[in-house]
Structure 1
Amino acid sequence: MSIFDGFLSTPQVLDAFSDSQFVAAMLRFESELASAQATVGLIPASAAQSIAGSCKVELFDVAKIVRDSGRAGSVAIPLVKSLKESVAMFNAEALPFVHLGGTSQDVIDTAMALVTREALALIEADLDRAIDALLQQASRHAATPILARTLMQPASVTSFGFKCAGWLAPLVRSRARLREASRRALNVQLGGAIGTLAQMKGQGPAVRARMAQALGLGDPGATWHTQRDEWVALGCELGLLTGSLGKIALDISLMGQYEVGEVAEPSEPGRGGSSAMPHKRNPVASMVALAAAHRAPQRVATLLAAMPQQHERALGAWQAELAEWPQLMMSAHGSLHALAGVLPGLQVDAVRMRANIDHLRAELPRDAADEWFDPALAVQAGETTLRELDALRQQWQALRVAAPARKINPDA
C-alpha cells in the first residue's frame, strides 16, 4: 500500500489483509488440520497439540516469510518450513505430521477465505449504515422538489427522496447478493495435489468437514483449486457494489458544484480543504468512492481473466488472482466507508433546489414550464418514493434479522 492509495482504503481492512493477519490465518489452517486429523485418528493427539501450540503468529518472523516467498513461489512454503522448525524444537516426534496431506494452495485459499470474511463483516456493517442513512434521507425528502436531469440537462421535476431511493435500491440488492455469494464462496480448501486426499487414508472428507466447522467456513465437498467460479462471483458482486457507490458519489459531486449548490458533504475541520484556496470544500468522500469505481473494474477483469487455469493447479493465473483480491476488497470498503460516513449528515439545500427549478421555469414557455417543471410534480414522486421505501425497508430488515448465511464458530 503506497502513499497514493492508502487514504483510499481504511485502516480496518488494511489490517485484515496485513502480512501478520494473513500468516495468522494460515497458521489457523495448520492448527485445525492437525486437530481434525487427530480427532479421526490419523495422527497422535500429542502431535496435534504440539502443532497447535506452535501455530502462534508471534513466534514467527513474518517479514522473513514474506521475503522468502519470492524465491519459493508461494508464501505457504516458507511458512510450513518455519512451522516445522518450531515444532521440531519442542516435539521432534510430531514433525512428520505437520501439514500432512495439505498443499500450498490449500493453506493459502483457506487463509484468504478467513481474512475475506473479516473484511466482508466490515463491508456489511458500513453497508447497513449507508442503507439506513438513505432510508432516512429519502423519507425526509420524499416530496422535496428537485430537477431531474437526463444527459446532464434538466428533464422534469422529481423529488430528492425519489433520487435517494434510486441510490438506495442497488445497495439493498447488493446486501442480499453479497450474503448469498459469501455463503457459496467462503469455503475451506483441502484436496491434496490432485484431490485424492491420499495421505489421509480415506479420512479426508471427515477431516475437511471438521476443519470447516472449526473455522466457520463451508465444506464444498471437494477441492476447488481451479474451480474459481464461486470465488470470482463474490469478487464480481464487490465490483457491482463499488460501481453503485460510484454512481451515488458522482451525483453528489455534481449536485454539490457551486453553480448547482443543492447538496454538500458534511463540513468538519480539516476535511475537504485546499492547500491554496481556503474557500473550497472538496467532496472528499465522493472522491474516494469515485476513485474506487475507476479501479474496481480492472480488478474484477483480472479475476475473470484468471479463471482459465491449467489442469488441477494454475501457473500464474491463481497468483494473479491472489494479488488482485485484497486490492478489490480495499477499494470496496474504502468507498463504502467514505460514503457511509457522510450520507447521514448530507447537507440538503431544499431552498436552492426550488430556486433552480424556478430559475428554469422563468426561461421557458408557460406550457412547457407547467407540464414538466411544476414543483407540484414532486408530490407524485413522493408517493411513489414512499411505496418503494416500504418495500426496500422490508427487504433490508429481513436481511438483518435472517440467520447468518453460515454459522460461525465463536472461537474461530
Structure 2
Amino acid sequence: MTNALTASGLFGGQFSDPTLAAEFSATAFARRMLAFETAWTRALAGVGAVPEDEAAAALAAIAAFDPGAVAVLAQGSDRDGLPVPALVKALRQGLDAGPAKAIHSGATSQDVIDSAMALTLIAVTEALDARLATALTQLDDLAARFGPAPMMARTRMQAALPATVALRLDAWRRPLADHRARLVPLRAEFGRVQVGGAVGRRDLPEGQGTAVAEEVARLLGLAPAPVWHNDRSGPVAMGHWLTLVAGTAGKIGQDVALMAQQGVDELRLSGAGGSSAMPHKQNPVLAEAMIALARFVAAQQGLLAQAMVHEQERSGAAWALEWLTLPAMAEATGAALCHLTRLLGSIEGMGAA
C-alpha cells in the first residue's frame, strides 16, 4: 500500500526506494506474470499436450500483450479480486479454440501470481545484497581507519568499561554479514515455482503435471518444488529476513545518533541536517530515518505472519496480506540500506573526543 504522504516527495527520499518500488510496479509484475504464461505454454508444448503450431500462435499472443496496459487488469481485479482472469481473457481474445487452450490451461491464478512474486523477490534480494556488500566494505574501511581509537563501551546507556571503536564496528558488521549468508537458504525457500492447478493436485495435463511444473521452473529460473499454495513459509521467511536487515540498520542508526550527541562526541559526521529553530544543531537525519524504517518493517512482519493462516486449499484474505506488506517492507528496507551506505560514507571521525 502506497503512503501518499511519504511518496509525494515532500519528505524527499527518506522513506522510499524508487529502485525497489519499480520491482513491484504494475508493469514489472505484469511482465513477470506474462513470463509465467509463456513458460506454461512452452511447457505444455514440450510434453506434447498442445500441438506446436497452436503453441506458436498462443506464444505470439502472449508476446503481443503490452504489460503497461494495466487498466484492463485493474478492472479485472476490481471484479475478480486479482488480475489473472482478466489477463488470461485478454491473451485468448481473438484466438481460435486450439491456441486459446494453449494459454493457461491446467494452471490457476495463484500459480501465476506466486511464481511472479518469487521472481520479484529474487530481483529485490539481488539489489539488497549489493547494498549489504557495499556497507560491509565501508565498515572494513572504518575499522582500518578508526578501529584502534579508544571509546567507552556502554551498557544500558551507561558508561561501562573502556574499549575501542573496533568493538562497536564489529557489532555492526557481524549481523550484516550473517544476513548476506542467510540469502542462500532464503532464496531456496521463496525462489520456488508454484504450480498446483485449481486445488493443488497438480494433475493437469493428465499424467504430466509434474513434468510441466519442472519445465516451467527451469524456464523461469526458479527451483522446482512441491505445491506450496497454502504454505506461506517462503513469503513470511522473506519478511523475516527484511525485518532482520532493517533492524540491524536501525540499530546502527540508533548507535550513530547516540554517539554523535553533543557531550558524547564519539562520532563526527559530515553533512548532518539543520534545524529551523536552532542553527547550531546538526541532526543525524539519516540515522533517524533508519530507526523509523526499522520499526516500520518490524510492525509489518507481525501482519505478514498472519498470512500463514491460509484456510483450506486457498485463502483470498490471507494471501492479500502479502501484497499489502511485502512491497512496503522491501522498499523500507531498501531505503534503510541506502541511508546506511550514505551514513557510513559520511563518518569523518570515531572515538573519544
Fold shared by both chains (TM-score > 0.5): yes
Going from structure 1 to structure 2, the CA distance change for 1:276 and 1:79 (only over 3 Å counts) comes to farther
- Give 1:9's match in structure 2, choosing from 13, 16, 39: 16
Going from structure 1 to structure 2, the CA distance change for 1:152 and 1:190 (only over 3 Å counts) comes to same
- For 2:46, the equivalent position in structure 1 comes to 39
Tell me how far apart the structure 1 counterparts of residues 328 and 261 of structure 2 sit (CA, whole Å).
30
Cα distance, 1:236 vs. partner?
A: 1.0
Cα distance, 1:92 vs. partner?
A: 5.5
Q: Which amino acid is the alignment partner of residue 80 of structure 2?
A: A
- For 2:85, the equivalent position in structure 1 comes to 77
How do residues 7-406 of structure 1 correspond to structure 2 at under 5 angstroms?
7=13, 8-56=15-63, 58=66, 61-85=69-93, 88=94, 93-220=98-225, 222-267=226-271, 272-275=273-276, 277-350=278-351, 353=352, 355=353
Cα distance, 1:299 vs. partner?
A: 1.5
Q: Structure 2 regions of 5+ residues with no counterpart? A: 8-12
* 1:369-397: CA deviation from partner (whole Å, max 9, x where unpaired): xxxxxxxxxxxxxxxxxxxxxxxxxxxxx
Going from structure 1 to structure 2, the CA distance change for 1:276 and 1:77 (only over 3 Å counts) comes to farther
Q: Is the Cα contact below 8 Å between 1:38 and 1:45 reproduced in 2? A: yes
Q: Is the Cα contact below 8 Å between 2:253 and 2:286 reproduced in 1? A: yes
Task: Report how many residues are paired.
Answer: 345
Q: Which amino acid is the alignment partner of residue 330 of structure 2?
A: M
Q: Which amino acid is the alignment partner of residue 344 of structure 2?
A: L
Tell me how far apart the structure 1 counterparts of residues 250 and 72 of structure 2 sit (CA, whole Å).
39
Relative to the length of structure 1, the TM-score reads 0.79
SS in 2 for 1:155: strand
Relative to the length of structure 2, the TM-score reads 0.91
Q: Is the Cα contact below 8 Å between 2:189 and 2:233 reproduced in 1? A: no
Q: Is the Cα contact below 8 Å between 1:272 and 1:284 reproduced in 2? A: yes
Tell me how far apart the structure 2 counterparts of residues 318 and 59 of structure 1 sit (CA, whole Å).
23
Tell me how far apart the structure 2 counterparts of residues 9 and 219 of structure 1 sit (CA, whole Å).
33
Q: Is the Cα contact below 8 Å between 1:189 and 1:225 reproduced in 2? A: yes
Going from structure 1 to structure 2, the CA distance change for 1:218 and 1:144 (only over 3 Å counts) comes to same
Q: Which amino acid is the alignment partner of residue 105 of structure 2?
A: L
Q: Is the Cα contact below 8 Å between 2:149 and 2:350 reproduced in 1? A: no
Larger Rg: 1
Cα distance, 1:22 vs. partner?
A: 0.6
SS in 1 for 2:316: coil
Q: Which amino acid is the alignment partner of residue 282 of structure 2?
A: R
CA RMSD of aligned residues (A): 1.9
